[in-house]
């Protein structure tokens, strides 16, 4: 079946611009996660959605970062006023409800801020 998909695959933007990254989870998966993979920082958790519960935003690095999940499916990660340190690969993952379930990752969006 279809896996997690993300778009765009690559995004180059200028410092100060806003960007939106999209994630389509596996159908039927109620849990959705965003992670960031950057040089020198490894993989870090950003935000978690589970059904209709309030998201866990504890990993968002600043208030320039936000995310929403509409209809319990597609999610959008928005970065406002991008900075060069935001350059990274942004990974989305989804899993079925019930811990500790396996998370399945999308291919990622490579963001480059010039």
Summarize as ranges the residues that interact with another protein (CB under 8 A). Answer: 4, 6, 31, 33, 35, 42-45, 48, 50, 53, 56, 58-59, 91, 93, 95, 99-108
- As to burial, measured by CB atoms within 10 angstroms (0-12 exposed, 13-18 middle, 19+ buried), residue 51 is exposed
Of 21 and 108, nearer to another protein (C-beta) is: 108
Look at the block and give the residue holding tokens 């060069």.
84
CB of 79 to another protein, least distance (A): 19
Of 80 and 96, nearer to another protein (C-beta) is: 96
Of 19 and 108, nearer to another protein (C-beta) is: 108
Of 80 and 107, nearer to another protein (C-beta) is: 107
CB of 25 to another protein, least distance (A): 13
59-93 b/e (C-beta count within 10 Å ≥ 16 → b): ebeeeebebebeeeeebebebeebeeebbbbbbbb
């Amino acid at each position: 079946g279809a896996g997690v998909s993300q778009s765009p695959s690559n995004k180059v933007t200028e410092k100060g611009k806003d960007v939106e990254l999209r994630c389509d989870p596996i159908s039927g998966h109620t849990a959705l996660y965003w992670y960031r993979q950057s040089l020198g920082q490894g993989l870090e958790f950003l935000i978690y959605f589970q059904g209709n519960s309030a998201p866990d935003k504890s990993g968002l690095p600043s208030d320039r970062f936000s995310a929403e999940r509409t209809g319990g499916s597609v999610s959008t990660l928005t970065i406002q006023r991008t900075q060069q340190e935001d350059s990274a690969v942004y990974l989305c993952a989804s899993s079925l409800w019930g811990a500790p379930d396996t998370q399945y990752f999308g291919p990622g969006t490579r963001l480059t801020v010039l």
